[in-house]
Every structure is written in structure tokens, then in C-alpha cells.
Amino acid sequence: MKFDTPAATNPIDQLKVVGKATDRIDGPLKTTGTAPYAYERHDVVAGQAYGHILGAAIAKGRITAMDVSAAKAAPGVLAVVTADNAGALGKGHWNTAKLLGGPEIQHYHQAVAVVVAETFEQARAAAALIRVEYKEERGAFDLAAARDGAVEAKDNPDTGAGDFAGAFADAPVRLDATYSTPDQGHAMMEPHATIAAWNGDKLTLWTANQMINWGVKDVAQTLNMPEENIRLISPYIGGGFGGKLFVRSDALMAALGARAAGRPVKVALTRPQMFNNTTHRPATIQRIRIGATPDGKITAFGHESWSGDLPGGKPETAVQQTRLLYAGANRLTAMRLAVLDLPEGNAMRAPGEAPGLMALEIAMDEMAEKLGMDPIQFRILNDTQVDPEHPDRPFSQRQLVECLRQGADRFGWTRRNPKPASVREGRWLVGMGVAAGYRNNLLTKSAARVRLDGQGGVTVETDMTDIGTGTYTIIAQTAAEMLGVPLDRVAVRLGDSRFPVSCGSGGQWGANNSTAGVYAACMKLRQAVARKLGFNAAEPTFADGKVASGGHAVPLAQAAKDGELVAEDMIEYGDLDKKYQQSTFAGHFVEVAVDGATGEIRLRRMLAVCAAGRILNPKSARSQVIGAMTMGAGAALMEELAVDKRRGFFVNHDLAGYEVPVHADIPHQEVVFLDEVDPISSPMKAKGVGELGICGVGAAVANAVHNATGVRVRDYPITLDKLLHHLPEIA
Amino acid sequence: MRPFTYERATSPADAATKAAAIPGARFIAGGTNLLDLMKLQIETPAHLIDVNGLGLDRIEETGEGGLRIGALVRNTDLAADARVRRHYGVLTRALVAGASGQLRNVATTAGNLLQRTRCPYFYDTNQPCNKRQPGSGCSAMGGVTRQLGILGTSDACIATHPSDMAVAMRVLDATVETVRPDGATRAIPIAELHRLPGDTPHLETTLERGELITAVTLPKPIGGTHLYHKVRDRASYAFALISVAAIVRRDGGGRVALGGVAPRPWRVEAAEAQMPKGAKAVAAGLLAGARPTPDNAFKIRLAERTLAAVLAEARA
Ligand SMILES: Cc1cc2nc3c(=O)[nH]c(=O)nc-3n(C[C@H](O)[C@H](O)[C@H](O)COP(=O)(O)OP(=O)(O)OC[C@H]3O[C@@H](n4cnc5c(N)ncnc54)[C@H](O)[C@@H]3O)c2cc1C
Ligand code: SF4
């Protein structure tokens, strides 16, 4: 199905199932521990052996000698695979560094060997017996130091409009400030894990992967084998946050280990390996310049961002939202990429906007302060309903102003004292902050297959993944709505490369695109049903398990009485995302209390008011948003991969050192979804919503800390050591 | 993890004798620290002697009006004990500020005292570390040191002792009771249990080879207001950046000790004498000779301010 004109009224608009707060259909499996995650699939193939990965002990250099003899001779060991005996390997399109290093080492903890043994403990103990000698080379590990050598990255040109430099120079009120965000790790619960089994030249991988089809392609490319010989199965994923968009070393090393051992092999990364072996969100340095008239109209907007990556890598697109969020005739955005020899950077929890807004929305707060304006008023005054770089492109929907206004009402914004450091409750300094939330809505084609059986049961199959987001449920809701059956008549099967290729899970594009693909397949099935039942004339209705037209109603099941009816289709998009800018918006509000003595920052209240198209399942959407708000709090207050700038690795590589919020950090959270349908986005009229929840939260926290203490911290995370010297004397 | 053998000791003296006799033997109590270190091969015992079944899990009153806490009493049980809560509040407060509920259910009194540092370089066997591998060098120095020590450290090691409980026991003047391989017992004042690193940061305590901790005794209650303030980046489940344990009497005198700043709970009795003069004077004595890194210099100001806040709270 080609979607190239705005959606008219369609069966989804009935909203009998879609749009209703619905418990996750996979909930009981999750809460009873019976959802089969990759590493626990003991049943799928017999004789599973265990692989343990050895990571490189240096960040950059070469292996000069490697002795695996002791490991090979260790109890239970079945095979040891290194670059020496792995055979020729390619590199996946989505990988920057090789998944198996040697002799060249590209980053710390890059896999250099996998040891396969009868038990996990044997494999791990044997891996520790491998002796590796390295010749260490000097690397670049410090973004600030490498910043001057950074260059414009391929496919990421500068953008702009008007004359930024001139307008900024002429602006009566100006802000020129530099911000930084640190490297961060995904730190999801489930580690990267894979079971690999060969059957002749055919390979099956039970793995944890957000993007099945990318995965198949990259495994094929890495192992130099045809895609059709590879099957990826990933029905349940214990969190990914972008860290599982790509095939990682667990999958490759399991496949290589299984080939060498002649047995199925399972491999999971250990927690300390996850931080340096896999991808992370790269650090940024961001310079923001805003010029405005004294009454607060922005005339010049400049945002430059520096980030680093391994050679061949990509920049963190932190200026993305600044092209689109606020008005202003004269504009500039630019990204510069430095070569760093740290582990590779890549997508994490709303790449681009999440770190970009952490800087931009402090800058907006600072500018409002300079102007003596309320920060909400300042944002409303500079709202735009068109793409400011291309004013002929309107937004499909844009309710940022409503998000901010409603949020202000609900949060009690008028109670905020605009003068920083003026509210004290006992030992606590209290403040409120606001930030705009913004995340683009991306359109990607997505296919699905729908089956109707003789009992009226419906089965949906697509290689779409559910990474804990609620995809199973919204897909079931979509099929139930389309075919007029109750939710419990729909079975959803996901995450298998034998199923039609979906959009996958990432960039908050999963919900809208995957359900639109299911919509397309259901439309086709409806036609097949109508034909089968002899409804030639007008389009029949599908409701209450029946198909009806012109007073004539037949049970849906009857259409499949002679055998299953199967329909497959794909949603494909025309140029509606070129003609219209499609984005999602939020107002994020935060109240913090800062311990006046120690500088410890504790959140008190958080509110997000979101406008993100039709909300397919308000319950799981809310869960997504509060989870994202929690991640935003983590980014603001604690998450930082600490770089050893001499040896080039993330030092705090476990969950004791890399802190993410715990329950005690997260106070009352409220989420409001504005009524919105966006017929330009898809037949579902929905947009992404999960990542919107993180975008802007960090800055709202930072702005609240400023309001509480008067201290403007521009370098994340905002830890107490950055406040300590500015806090009032203790009586 | 290296393969190891395992046995259950039959008595405290049996445990100590075996631990001294069997090469590479270690005691295991809750295992919450030791097992993690074994998985990473930071600790590689050849033999584990389980001391859980020795009846060392009781809290009894001593003839002197204090408490004897068995070495195997779990952190949760110790924190919840009515006598501890009533008379040694600083201990309960310190305990519940540590780790998580699940860990405290398993962690023991002796294990907590003997838990090893959380220096991130100690945890990465690719990195030189004098504590893990004597003479290999200290990677932390010049590296990431925000969590590390500012007092009592040496050029060989700047790690801290991470325990919260031990800081409270230090202000309570606890005594560590042990049994030695020859069956003899002794009592070690807690101030003398942990060594400063000097040139030998791998030697962390004054316990002898095979010496088993059997109990920790607390002297008779001294009254006063008991406070423990742990400062950390997140609200729970994080090691202290710094912590302050304090017992403050009505007249303003009392005791204070710091956690998170040194290789052992940091208490300077001479500084305490200044308590009636106010927090600044105490802090000056307590923090004298601090040798911070650029990353952790903030701990000085943080300790001063936290101490001031704690003493103010005690007064209030
Ligand atoms: C994730 C995490 C977070 C934590 N957070 C904190 C925190 O915030 N604050 C804090 O204070 N602690 C914290 N801890 C540490 C925790 O308190 C210790 O792991 C625990 O107290 C150790 O007790 P255990 O009985 O498990 O010791 P084990 O691991 O069994 O033993 C530790 C050491 O003591 C030795 N040992 C044990 N018993 C005896 C004995 N009777 N005589 C002689 N030697 C003995 C062992 O040989 C071993 O060397 C944390 C731990 C973890 C894993
Ligand atoms: S500070 Fe101590 S524990 Fe840390 S690396 Fe140096 S020697 Fe090892």
C-alpha cells in the first residue's frame, strides 16, 4: 500500500480497540519469567555449548603475539576462535569497527577471541588463560583536545538561512554559550546475547536485536554468506535503547564459535564488557548563539556541535532539532566530527535530539533570563508553524504552544519564583524548570502478513520487534480493529527473519510504521474475505466477529472455512514527509530540591505534556514516556562514561560505576497526551512517542537546578561538585 | 573464576586452622563481595571455607552493658535490632544507607568490614594496580579518581574503604574479636583493623593469615544524638562520595568520623575535641593533610559542609 495522500476516514477511526488503554498482551509472560529471551532458549536446539569473549586490553595498537595453548588445553574447552583462525570476515554496514579485532585493535574491549567450552565457567576461566601481547599506539581519546581537528562529516552538511553572522552581530540581545554532554551507555537490563546453530551452511541466530533485517544483512556481509542462509530470531528483547540496533560481537562470536566447535554455542556479553565492547552515545561539545530583539523575537540562531568517533564513524546529530524548533530568519547549524579511538559511538535513546536539547533548552532558558522574559513566553513567542529553513514546508501538526500552556497550568508554573535561589524549604533549595520536547517522526516502509483461520482467529506475522515497548499489543489492537474481532482472537508473532520485513524498532519509528504495515496487510485480508464471502458491492464492515454489508452479515470465520486466508502487504510512503515536516512535541516540567549543604539534587515532580499524533495505547505510551523521562533524569544528573584519556577506555564499566536512576531518584511523574490525529503521518494517524519523553527532560532539570540555586551548570551531568562552590554558607 | 574447592568449617577455630594450613584458602560469608571479585579473577582463592554455619549469627549483650555482634549477623538483622536502633542509632543509619535491601539481607558484619575497595581500576584486570598486583603501579593516579581517597592515601594507592557500617562502628569505638589459627583469641580496636596503604596497599588489615573475625563488640551506649549522612550522586544504591557519622552530646561535644575519603573510616580524636567550637574547627583537624586529586578535591569542601550540616542538625 502506497501512502501518498493524507489519510481519510478509515477503519482505525472506529477506535473500538485502538486508542484504548490496554494491558500488554505479553505482560503475563514477562511477569512470570516465561518470555523466552535469547540466552535462555535452552529448548530451541540441543547440545548448546558456552562461549566467552575476550576483549582487547588496549585501546589502539596491534596484537604482536597471542598464545591460546593454555586455553585450548583447559578443562571442557571445545574451541578457541581468534582472527587467526576465523577465516576471512567482512564488516557489517552498521558496524564502524570490526566485531572481531586482531591483529589491529581499534578500541578497548574489542573482541579478540571467543573460547567455547562445555560450561560457562569453563569458558570464562579458559578465556583468562589466553596470553596476548600488544604493541600499544597513541590514540586520541579526548574530545576537547581533538575538537580543533574536527571536520564536516559526510552527509551532514551545514545548514542555514539568511545571514546568521550578520544578524547575530547586530542583535541587541545575544547569548553565546558552550555546553557539553558526556559519553553515555545504554545500560539496558538484558545484555547482548545470542545462541548460534549451524545446519550445514545454514545459520540460525536466536539473539537480541532491534532490527532483524539489518541484522540478517550484516551477518551475511560479515560472514560472507548469502542472506537466505541466515535466520535471525528475536521475539523478546530486554531493552535495547539503540544498543541492539546492530549485530554485535555476541552474534558473530557465537556463530564463529559454533562453526569451530561443531555445536550450537551461546554467548552473552558480561556487564563490564558491554560498555566498551559495544556502542555508546558519544560526548558532544555544543556552542549555541542566539540573537534577539529586546522584546524577545529571535533574529539569529546558531548551533554548532562537535563529537568524535572512530574513523568511518558518524557525528552525534545534536543540532537536528535546532533546524526546526524555533523561528528566526537567520540561521546556522553545523556539526564537526573528530577522530577518536574510543569505542564506537552510535544511536542511543533519541540520538541527536536528546543531547541536542540538553544544550539548546538551557540556552533558551538563559536567553529568556537575559531578556527578562518568562521562559515559556519566550518559547511561545518564537514558535513557528513552518520549517524555518524552508518556510514553504509546514508542520503536519504542531502543538508545542499547547503543550507548554497546558503544562504550565497543570504544573502550577505561576507558583515559580522567577528569581533564582529564592525558595527555601528547610535544608532544601527548591526550583522549577521547563523545556520544550521535540523529536522527529520518521517514516519507513514496513510489511506484515495476516492470517485468518477457520475458527475466526487472526495471526499477524512481521519481523518487527518488541524491545519492551508494547509493540505486541498495539499490533494486536490494530489487527483487532481492522478485522472486527476481540483482542484475544489475535495472535502476534514477531522478531523472526522468516516474517515480512518491518521497520524494526528504533528512532521512535516502530509504533506508527509497524502498525501501518499491519493496517496495509489487514486491508488486503479484508478484500480477500469480502471476495471469498461474495461481498462484491460496497466495502463491507468488519465488527463483532462478523462481516456485514447491506443488512447481510456473515461470521468472519466462514471466510476461512475451506482453509486459511493469508494476506501480506507493506506500507510504503510517498513524499508527504518532504512536503510536511512531521514531528512530535512536548512540554517538560520539573521541580527539584537541592540540598543547601551538600548540593545533592533530588527531583520532586515531573510532568510531560505530549502531542504526538494518535496515541495507539495510552497505557503503554505512558509507560514509554515515564521511562524516557527517567532516562532524561539520568542524563541530567548522573549518567557519564568516565574516559581514561591516557589509555582510552570507559573506566566505570559496570553498574556500580555507571549510575542510572533508581526508584528513589524518581518522584511523582505525570504524562498528558494532547488530543491529536495526524492524517499526514500514516493511515494510523499516529506518530512516534517513546523518545519524545526523554527529549528536553535533561534541560528542564538543569533549568530547575538553576532556578533553585542560581547556578548555571552547562556541563552534564549536573553533579553536586559543580554546585558546591556556589551554595550559600551554612549557618 | 578459577576452579576452587569448598568446605564448611565445623568451628571458628577449625576455620582459622584450616585457613592457615591450606594454601590459597579464604573465608566466605555472604559472598556478596568475594564472589564478584572471583568472577573477575581479582580474587583467585583455591579453597573456600564457609563460615556461615558456626553459630556466629547472634547479637548478645555483654557483661559491660554493650553488645556483641556475631561476625555472621546479616546487615539487615543488625540494622533492625531494637537494641541497636535504640542505643546505637548511627549504626542502623549507616547500615541502611549501604547497598540495597537484597544485598543487606546476605551481607555479614565481618564481610562488610573486610569488603574491598571500589576503585574502578582495581576492578579491571587489564590495568596495573598495586593493590591487586603488588608493584605493578597505580592506574588511578592521573586517571579517573572522582570516587577515590583524599586522606591516609599514599603514592602507591589512593583507594578508599567503601563501607558505611565501618564508619559508624568507628565512632562507636567497636572492637573486633578474632580467633587465630592456634585457637587463641584477641580483640582488635576497630581503629587498628584497617591499615593505611603505604608501600603495601595489598595488605589491607592487621589480621593474620587464617585469623577469623568472630564478633564485633560495641561498648556500653554513650547516648547523644546519632546521625549518619551519606552523600552520593543518586538517592540510593550508590557508594558514598563522602559520609559523616556523628554522635553529638547535649553539650556539643561528641565524636565524628568520615567515610568515602580514606582507606579506612577516618576519625581524628584530636579534631573532635574542637566540636564545641563548631564545625569549621573540627573539619580543619579532620581534613588536615588531605591530598586530593583535581577530580576529587571537591570532597574537602563537601566534607566540611556536610559536617557543618550534620552538627547543625544535631543541635536542632
Ligand atoms: C552492588 C553493591 C553495592 C554495594 N553498596 C554498598 C554500600 O553502599 N555501602 C557499603 O558499605 N557496602 C556496599 N556494598 C558492599 C557490601 O556491604 C559487602 O559486599 C558486604 O558487606 C560483604 O559481606 P559478605 O558477608 O557478603 O562478605 P564476603 O563477600 O563473603 O566476604 C568479604 C571478605 O571478607 C572475608 N571474610 C568474611 N567473613 C569473614 C570472617 N568472619 N573473618 C575473616 N574474614 C572474613 C572474606 O574472606 C572476603 O575476603 C555493596 C555491594 C554490592 C555488591
Ligand atoms: S588507587 Fe589503589 S586500588 Fe586503585 S589502581 Fe591505584 S593501587 Fe589499585
- ∠ CA A386-A389-A395, nearest 5°, is 25
Strands A77-82 and A111-117: antiparallel
Predicted confidence at residue A349, as pLDDT, reads 96
Whether A725 contacts chain B with CB within 8 A: yes
Closest residue by Cα to residue A122 from B4, B3, B126, B24? B3
Whether B141 contacts chain A with CB within 8 A: no
> Does A371 have pLDDT greater than 80?
yes
A604 plus A660 within the same structural domain: yes
Note the helical H segments in A21-83. Answer: 27-31, 69-73
Distance from C-alpha of A236 to C-alpha of A227, rounded to nearest angstrom = 22
Q: Sign of the CA dihedral A703, A704, A706, A712?
A: negative
A531 plus A658 within the same structural domain: no
Final residue in a domain of this structure, among A549, A572, A595: A572
Q: Which three cell numbers stand for residue B247?
A: 554522635
Question: Which ligand is closest to the CA of A651, given by its number?
Answer: 2
> Does A422 have pLDDT greater than 70?
yes
Question: Which ligand is closest to the CA of B165, given by its number?
Answer: 1
DSSP A229-298: GEEEE-S--S--TTTTSS--HHHHHHHHHHHHHTS-EEEE--HHHHHHHS-BBPPEEEEEEEEE-TTS-E
Predicted confidence at residue A446, as pLDDT, reads 98
User: Domain for residue A609, yes or no?
Assistant: yes
Distance from C-alpha of A542 to C-alpha of A560, rounded to nearest angstrom = 15
Burial of A425: CB neighbours in 10 Å, binned 0-12, 13-18, 19+? exposed
Whether B142 contacts chain A with CB within 8 A: yes
Q: Which three cell numbers stand for residue A186?
A: 545504554
Whether B236 contacts chain A with CB within 8 A: yes
Predicted confidence at residue A550, as pLDDT, reads 84
Q: How far is the CA of B118 from the centre of ligand 2 (A)?
A: 9
A347 plus A211 within the same structural domain: no
Q: Do the chains contact at B1 and A125, CB–CB below 8 Å? A: yes
Final residue in a domain of this structure, among A531, A549, A572: A572
Q: Identify whether the C-beta of residue A95 lies closer than 8 Å to the C-beta of residue A110.
A: no
Query: Which residues of A have a catalytic role annotated?
Result: 691
Q: Which residue has the cell 555479614?
A: B108
Predicted confidence at residue A46, as pLDDT, reads 98
Q: Which residues of B touch A717 (CB under 8 A)?
A: 233
Question: Which ligand is closest to the CA of A659, given by its number?
Answer: 1
> Does B189 have pLDDT greater than 70?
yes
A325 plus A404 within the same structural domain: yes
Q: Which three cell numbers stand for residue A662?
A: 533508581
A21 plus A125 within the same structural domain: no
A551 plus A603 within the same structural domain: no
> Does A104 have pLDDT greater than 80?
yes
A491 plus A507 within the same structural domain: yes
Predicted confidence at residue A571, as pLDDT, reads 98
Predicted confidence at residue A537, as pLDDT, reads 61
Q: How many residues does chain B have?
A: 316
Cβ-based neighbour number of residue A63 at 10 Å: 22
Can you say how many angstroms the Cα of residue B54 is from the centroid of all Cα atoms in its chain?
Answer: 23
| Domain region containing A659 | 284-442+579-726
Distances A56 to A102, A258, A311, A478, B41 between C-alpha atoms, Å? 9, 21, 18, 47, 16
Closest residue by Cα to residue A674 from A595, A606, A586? A586
Query: Smallest CA–CA separation between A58 and chain B, in Å?
Result: 8
Of A597, A665, A720, the CB nearest to B235: A665
Cβ-based neighbour number of residue A228 at 10 Å: 10
Cβ-based neighbour number of residue A189 at 10 Å: 9
A252 plus A360 within the same structural domain: no
Contacts of A465 (CB under 8 A, 6+ apart): A209, A210, A211, A212, A234, A235, A237, A471, A494, A495, A502, A504, A505, A510
Per-residue pLDDT of A113-151, as tens digits, reads: 999 999 999 999 999 999 999 999 999 999 999 999 999
A662 to chain B: nearest residue by CA?
Answer: B236
> Does A24 have pLDDT greater than 90?
yes
Distance from C-alpha of A197 to C-alpha of A211, rounded to nearest angstrom = 20
Note the helical H segments in chain B. Answer: 12-21, 34-39, 75-80, 82-87, 89-96, 101-106, 109-113, 165-171, 269-272, 279-286, 298-315
Looking at the structure of chain A, the number of domains it has is 3
- Residue A699 belongs to domain with CATH number: 3.30.365.10
Query: Smallest CA–CA separation between A73 and chain B, in Å?
Result: 15
Of chain B, the percentage scoring pLDDT greater than 70 comes to 100
Cβ-based neighbour number of residue A623 at 10 Å: 18
A114 plus A213 within the same structural domain: yes
B44 to chain A: nearest residue by CA?
Answer: A125
Element (H or E) spanning A400, and its range? helix A400-411
Residue type, B130: N
* Average model confidence (pLDDT) across chain B: 97
A698 plus A716 within the same structural domain: yes
Question: Which ligand is closest to the CA of B97, given by its number?
Answer: 1
DSSP A472-533: HHHHHHHHHHHHT--GGGEEEE-SBTTSPP---S-TT-HHHHHHHHHHHHHHHHHHHHHHHT
Q: Which residues line ligand 2 (CB under 6 A)?
A: B 117, 119, 121-122, 129-131, 138-140, 148, 157-159, 201
Predicted confidence at residue A536, as pLDDT, reads 76
Q: Which residue has the cell 536446539?
A: A45
Q: Which residues of A touch B316 (CB under 8 A)?
A: none
Per-residue pLDDT of A29-61, as tens digits, reads: 999 999 999 999 999 999 999 999 999 999 999
Pocket test for ligand 1, best of B18, B74, B112, B233 (most atoms within 8 A of CB): B112
Residue type, A719: T
Q: Which three cell numbers stand for residue A604?
A: 520532586
Predicted confidence at residue B158, as pLDDT, reads 98
Per-residue pLDDT of A582-624, as tens digits, reads: 999 999 999 999 999 999 999 999 999 999 999 999 999 999 9
What is the band of A202 on the pLDDT scale with cuts at 50, 70, 90?
A: very high
Of B121, B237, B309, the CB nearest to A730: B309
Whether B280 contacts chain A with CB within 8 A: no
Q: What are the two backbone dihedrals, phi and then psi, of residue A271, each rounded to the nearest 5 degrees?
A: -55, -45
CA dihedral A707, A713, A718, A720 (to 10 degrees): -80
Distance from C-alpha of B46 to C-alpha of B254, rounded to nearest angstrom = 45
Atom of ligand 1 nearest to the CA of B71: 41
User: Domain for residue A146, yes or no?
Assistant: no
Q: Which three cell numbers stand for residue A4?
A: 501518498
Closest residue by Cα to residue A251 from A215, A225, A281? A215
Contacts of B178 (CB under 8 A, 6+ apart): B185, B186, B187, B188, B207, B211, B212, B213, B214
Predicted confidence at residue A551, as pLDDT, reads 86
Q: How far is the CA of B142 from the centre of ligand 2 (A)?
A: 11
CA dihedral A706, A709, A713, A717 (to 10 degrees): -100
User: Domain for residue A312, yes or no?
Assistant: yes
At what angle are helices A618-637 and A697-709 packed, to 10 degrees? Answer: 50
Q: Do the chains contact at A730 and B305, CB–CB below 8 Å? A: yes
Element (H or E) spanning A177, and its range? strand A173-181
Q: Identify whether the C-beta of residue A168 lies closer than 8 Å to the C-beta of residue A291.
A: yes
Q: Which residue has the cell 543518586?
A: B234
A477 plus A421 within the same structural domain: no
- Which ipTM value was assigned to this complex? 0.97
Final residue in a domain of this structure, among A547, A572, A597: A572
What is the band of A539 on the pLDDT scale with cuts at 50, 70, 90?
A: confident
Atom of ligand 1 nearest to the CA of B240: 8
Q: Is the pTM of this model over 0.95?
A: yes
Instruction: Tell which of A120, A121, A602, A644 to mutate to test the B interface (max B CBs under 10 Å).
Output: A644
User: Domain for residue A233, yes or no?
Assistant: yes
Distances A117 to A123, A124, A192, A710, B308 between C-alpha atoms, Å? 5, 9, 19, 58, 57
Whether B126 contacts chain A with CB within 8 A: yes
Instruction: Tell which of B4, B115, B118, B126 to mutate to test the A interface (max A CBs under 10 Å).
Output: B126
Can you say how many angstroms the Cα of residue A409 is from the centroid of all Cα atoms in its chain?
Answer: 30
- ∠ CA A366-A371-A374, nearest 5°, is 75
Q: Do the chains contact at B302 and A721, CB–CB below 8 Å? A: yes
Q: Which three cell numbers stand for residue A140?
A: 586520541
Establish whether residue B228 lines the binding site of ligand 1, counting it when its CB lies within 6 angstroms of any ligand atom.
no
Per-residue pLDDT of A433-482, as tens digits, reads: 999 999 999 999 999 999 999 999 999 999 999 999 999 999 999 999 99
User: Domain for residue A143, yes or no?
Assistant: no
Closest residue by Cα to residue A233 from A498, A496, A464, A37? A496
Distance from C-alpha of A591 to C-alpha of A601, rounded to nearest angstrom = 10
A263 plus A288 within the same structural domain: no
Query: 3-state DSSP helix/strand/coil percent for chain B, to nearest 5?
Result: 30, 20, 50
User: Any bridge partners for residue A610, and if so which?
Assistant: A586, A673
Distance from C-alpha of A662 to C-alpha of A504, rounded to nearest angstrom = 29
User: Any bridge partners for residue A79, and if so which?
Assistant: A116
Work out the average pLDDT over B76-86.
Answer: 98
User: Domain for residue A486, yes or no?
Assistant: yes
User: Domain for residue A170, yes or no?
Assistant: no
B301 to chain A: nearest residue by CA?
Answer: A724
Predicted confidence at residue A155, as pLDDT, reads 92
> Does A652 have pLDDT greater than 90?
yes
Whether A271 contacts chain B with CB within 8 A: no
* Average model confidence (pLDDT) across chain A: 97
User: Domain for residue A163, yes or no?
Assistant: no
Of chain A, the percentage scoring pLDDT greater than 90 comes to 98
Closest residue by Cα to residue A208 from A256, A265, A262, A249? A249
What is the band of B306 on the pLDDT scale with cuts at 50, 70, 90?
A: very high
Per-residue pLDDT of A312-343, as tens digits, reads: 999 999 999 999 999 999 999 999 999 999 99
